[in-house]
Chains A and B, each alone.
Chain A
Amino acid sequence: MTGWLSDNLASILNGVALGCLLFALAVGLSLVFGVLDVLNLAHGSLFVAGAYAAWRLADDGSLAGFGLAVVLAAGIGGAGGLVLTVATRPLAGRGHLDQALLTLGIALVVTEVVQSWFGRDPHGVLPPLAGSVEIGGGYPIYRLALIGAGLALALAVDQAVERTRVGALVRATVCDPDMVAAMGVNTLLVRSGAFIVGGALAAVAGVLGAPLLGASPHLDAQVLLLALVVVVIGGLGSVRGALLGALLIGQVQSLGIALAPRQAPFLLFGAMAIVLVVRPAGLLGTRAAAA
């Protein structure tokens, strides 16, 4: 058992690192759905925007450039979230499919624009923290830092949503937006805020993920798929569910591929199927979120 563990330690750690990235992406998707009732299929495009910011500013692995990319990506992601708030506003009350179609159209356009600006080829990005530590035969420091940053982010988001006044407002809006509006709260602010924060998180995840996944125009579909699976497994509108789902899918994508490379797509579907059969609303979702 310890032999197996040390053999696969790198895969397991990679899975945790990927899980942390997926959490940053999925929590925004989940929040936006919970607060605005919008399924944002352009969420992956914001991730890609962050990845390209990292490539332009920090492809040589400079820490300052990387920090700048994080700040820039947060700005771009926030602005993207604001644009999407405005774009989906006229569709309120017209059903989820319209919003899904609209954001899907936006995602397709963004992919094309990215492709015409930066080209079709994927670009690699060097991690800002070079070197490795003696775990499992040498493990990159950057990925450990990523795990740390991801877990810190998860803790921060969880505390912000569960313990602060603003978080209480967000949770109330998820439960009953009409009642929140009736109590005199400007729900437009809450809605825009959720979309802006969600967008910024997705773009920052793109920067943090660039040293692992690189930057390429069609990355958005890959990460969106994973984020959707995470949200389905974790339960919509639940921060802790998103974390649990992200860590689970991170392992499926890393350890699963290492142990059974051919069956990887089936593993992803299988994990989702099993969770949904046992708990149709996701691991930590409430029935109301699924209805």
Chain B
Amino acid sequence: MSRLLADRSVPGGAYLPRALTAGRSVPVHLLALAVVVWLVALPFGASAYTVGVVGRILAFGLFVASLDFLVGIAGLPSLGHGAFFGIGAYAAALLARDVTAVGPAQLAIAAAIGAAAAGVTGLVTIRSRGIYFVMLTLAIGELARQVADSWTSLTGGANGLAGVPALKLIPGGGSVVIAGHIYWYVLAMTALAFGLLAAVRASAFGQALKGLRDNEDRMRALGYSVTGLKLAALFVAGGFAGLAGSLWLTQLRFVSPADVGFTTSALALLCVVIAGSGSLWGSFVAAAVVIVVRDELGTVIGGRGPLVLGLMFIAVVYLLPRGLAGLVPGGLRPQPQPALGTGVAE
């Protein structure tokens, strides 16, 4: 991977992402190992409630990572990514109800449908740049919510789809109902998907996407198909979002138009911003922070989740400007002189 990084002849190549260089040190490896051991051992020691919360954080963290791939790696700031998460969840719910309760099959199909939906809408959105892209993706996410709301025969309308059949691991097998077992399934699938996403990021394709983020015109001049790269990035991110939606559904066994909508997209984007874009690992930490703060703190002050969320947005924008580095094409890169890269591509 480091060879690829050194070789690429795009601007920004001189600035090795800090996460990659820092990740080589031993304490970080030890910390990662400790976290993995803790995650695996969690159902032995923690309450079913805690296990449920962590399981949801894993699924949502994977969704955030897929958005981070789009925003932080490919430089495509989407405000409608929740659409593909929701589509994945709906697909898994309908599959479980009408076709098969086998989890891995649901995952594969939800990912395929999420990717396809992202690809189709991408045909429209990639024609735009910068702020137009933000507005278009926002509109698409909201339209997806409206579709989920109004296509009652398929989606159950505003009531959503409740009582989805429980997970099965193999065809003809028994239903998995113990919280710890469902959690392990989610953990294993999240780890697998995350590894795959990290591999995509480290691949030549991932490096080309970073080049696109840093300087689209240069990449075009180098002979890359900018349109093709963007479309592929949306396709990949949509697929992982659909997969995450399927994992989310497996745990909650309920999906409603709210999961498709703008709030979900905005929440994920908030996580990306908190994480500091481009570090896929950080997605899970940020997802944990946001979900715990919204659910726990929101309950404490009387079910005002959106209020807490709104205040978090405002606080993060003002207080964590470095966490925002690299969100917008041509925006700030993590580099010593922060003022240099401002607004180049705009």
Query: Would you call A102 and B146 a contact (CB within 8 A)?
Result: no
When each residue 135-158 of chain B gets 1 if its CB lies under 8 Å from chain A and 0 otherwise, what string results?
110111011001100110000000
Q: List residues 312-336 of chain B with CB under 8 A from any CB of chain A.
A: 312-314, 316-318, 321, 324, 327-328, 331-332
Q: Does B15 have its Cβ within 8 Å of any Cβ on chain A?
A: no
Q: Does A106 have its Cβ within 8 Å of any Cβ on chain B?
A: yes
Query: Would you call A105 and B342 a contact (CB within 8 A)?
Result: no
Q: Does B79 have its Cβ within 8 Å of any Cβ on chain A?
A: yes
A34 CB to closest chain B CB (Å) equals 11
Across the interface, name the chain A residue whose C-beta is closest to B329. Answer: A95
B249 CB to closest chain A CB (Å) equals 22
Q: Which of A8-16, A199-207, A258-266 contacts B (4 or more CB under 8 A)?
A: A258-266
Interface of B is mostly: helix
Q: Which chain B residues border A265 with CB–CB below 8 Å? A: 143, 146-147, 150
Partner of B124, one of A113, A264, A273: A273
Q: List residues 216-259 of chain A with CB under 8 A from any CB of chain B.
A: 221, 225, 228-229, 231-232, 236
Chain A interface bracket (under 10, 10 to 19, 20 to 34, 35 or more): 35 or more
Query: Would you call A232 and B139 a contact (CB within 8 A)?
Result: yes
Q: List residues 288-346 of chain B with CB under 8 A from any CB of chain A.
A: 304, 306-307, 309-314, 316-318, 321, 324, 327-328, 331-332, 342-343, 346
Q: Which chain B residues border A156 with CB–CB below 8 Å? A: none
Interface of A is mostly: helix
Q: Does B273 have its Cβ within 8 Å of any Cβ on chain A?
A: yes
A179 CB to closest chain B CB (Å) equals 16
Q: Does A97 have its Cβ within 8 Å of any Cβ on chain B?
A: yes
Q: List residues 126-182 of chain B with CB under 8 A from any CB of chain A.
A: 127-132, 134-136, 138-140, 142-143, 146-147, 150-151
Q: Does A90 have its Cβ within 8 Å of any Cβ on chain B?
A: yes
Q: Does A268 have its Cβ within 8 Å of any Cβ on chain B?
A: yes
Query: Would you call B132 and A111 a contact (CB within 8 A)?
Result: no
A87 CB to closest chain B CB (Å) equals 8
Q: Does A175 have its Cβ within 8 Å of any Cβ on chain B?
A: no
Query: Would you call B317 and A268 a contact (CB within 8 A)?
Result: no
Across the interface, name the chain A residue whose C-beta is closest to B129. Answer: A291
Q: Say whether, besides A94-B331, A105-B310, A266 and B147 are in contact (CB < 8 Å).
A: yes
Query: Would you call B147 and A104 a contact (CB within 8 A)?
Result: no
Q: Does A101 have its Cβ within 8 Å of any Cβ on chain B?
A: yes
Q: Which chain A residues border B266 with CB–CB below 8 Å? A: 104, 108
Q: Which chain B residues border A213 with CB–CB below 8 Å? A: none
Q: Does B269 have its Cβ within 8 Å of any Cβ on chain A?
A: yes
A162 CB to closest chain B CB (Å) equals 24
Query: Would you call B307 and A280 a contact (CB within 8 A)?
Result: no
Query: Would you call A91 and B317 a contact (CB within 8 A)?
Result: yes
Query: Would you call A232 and B134 a contact (CB within 8 A)?
Result: no
Q: Say whether, besides A228-B138, A262-B150, A264-B150, A105 and B343 are in contact (CB < 8 Å).
A: no
Q: Which chain B residues border A232 with CB–CB below 8 Å? A: 128, 132, 135-136, 139
Query: Would you call B313 and A96 a contact (CB within 8 A)?
Result: no
Partner of B327, one of A33, A95, A266, A268: A95
Q: Does B65 have its Cβ within 8 Å of any Cβ on chain A?
A: no
Across the interface, name the chain B residue whose C-beta is closest to A267. Answer: B143
Query: Would you call A272 and B136 a contact (CB within 8 A)?
Result: yes
A269 CB to closest chain B CB (Å) equals 5
23 contacts between A and B (CB under 8 A): A39-B131, A93-B343, A94-B331, A94-B332, A96-B130, A96-B134, A96-B346, A98-B324, A101-B273, A102-B318, A104-B313, A105-B311, A106-B310, A108-B306, A108-B310, A108-B313, A112-B304, A225-B142, A229-B139, A262-B150, A268-B143, A280-B127, A290-B130
Extra contacts, 9 of them, besides A101-B313, A109-B311, A277-B127 (Cβ < 8 A), are A39-B135, A93-B342, A112-B307, A232-B139, A265-B146, A265-B147, A268-B143, A280-B128, A291-B346
4 closest A-B pairs by CB? A105-B313, A108-B310, A95-B328, A109-B310
Interface residues of A (CB under 8 A from B): 33, 39, 90-91, 93-98, 100-102, 104-109, 111-113, 221, 225, 228-229, 231-232, 236, 262, 264-266, 268-269, 272-273, 276-277, 280, 290-291
Interface residues of B (CB under 8 A from A): 77, 79, 124, 127-132, 134-136, 138-140, 142-143, 146-147, 150-151, 262, 266, 269-270, 273, 304, 306-307, 309-314, 316-318, 321, 324, 327-328, 331-332, 342-343, 346
